[in-house]
Structure 1
């Protein structure tokens, strides 16, 4: 069976040549700006878009091209991304979350950039890509809210935590919830933890959380 893993790169600073060029042109080429502001503005927008950093894809896999893999005991996709960044051979990576049969997260390093496929098992990215969680105001990705638990239940694996959210909304006592992925704090199975108070959020790739009321 082939897994894939996504990595986030932290701490690497790059010079922004686009910004330096843009500022230099603005300071010394007022005539150029006056002659063609629309054309120049469009070119700058295009250059800035091309210079934007790539983002890893959460809930996507990139099967194929593997040359190495290792267990990620922290369970954090960022560790996979960092490893790819340091390895000259690596062009892409995939991070697979722990499962009931595989107790640790696995990072797969790839010598080629394979096409991505939707799969909630994984996070994937090309070299230099940082992990960016999906944006949803109702759901907190990679967030654990520790404490306030009054009950928990085992649930099927759910990349969005929808079951936890639905059960919490139907329970008048529940104010917040946390979904723990399989292989993290809930054991080999996924679990929902229901809370009667809203506790502080803490970044942790184990979990998805939400505040209901």
Structure 2
């Protein structure tokens, strides 16, 4: 008994009959799908659509500035110790609807911990290297 090694294509060609039109339409389909993934047929600008449901599906987020070496003194409605990162104070301001501005005071300036001040209105800026301030836009 002698074994002969054949490839899958040779086996299929010998044992199955492939109609030419199936191969032709398969190649055409591959070309169309390949071309459509390369070229994006969607327009660049989509028309605006009104929201149908009574509830908003988006969470309102705000852009908040970060002004390094600046203090916004006054108009505080709350203050609390926070981590050693000004971005945490900025996030508290974003998440609080009453917050219009914030000032983050670095650790060691007013005790051992950093302090975050949330403000109801945005006071004017004053230069101060101890602080990072920002306003909600």
Q: Looking at CA atoms only, which structure, 1 or 2, has the larger radius of gyration?
A: 2
Structure 2: 5+ residue stretches without partners: 1-43, 47-62
Q: Which runs of 5 or more structure 1 residues have no equivalent in the other structure?
A: 1-22, 26-52, 129-213
From the two aligned structures, give the one with the greater strand fraction: 1
- Does the Cα contact within 8 Å between 2:101 and 2:136 map onto a contact in 1? yes
If the length of structure 2 is used for normalisation, what is the TM-score?
0.52
Match of 2:130 in 1: 121
Map Cα deviations across residues 12-53 of structure 1 (whole Å, 9 max, x no partner).
Answer: xxxxxxxxxxx539xxxxxxxxxxxxxxxxxxxxxxxxxxx5
* Pairing 1:1-213 to 2, within 5 Å after superposition: 24=45, 55-72=65-82, 74-99=83-108, 102-127=111-136
Change (3 A) 1:85 1:120: same
Q: How many residues align?
A: 78
Bigger RCO (CA 8 Å, 6+ sep): 2
TM-score of the aligned structures, taking structure 1 as reference length: 0.34
Q: Secondary structure at the match of 2:45?
A: helix
Q: Deviations over 1:104-157 (max 9, x none)?
A: 0000000001111110010000126xxxxxxxxxxxxxxxxxxxxxxxxxxxxx
The 4+ residue runs of structure 1 with deviation greater than 6 A are none
- 1:55 to partner: Cα distance: 3.0
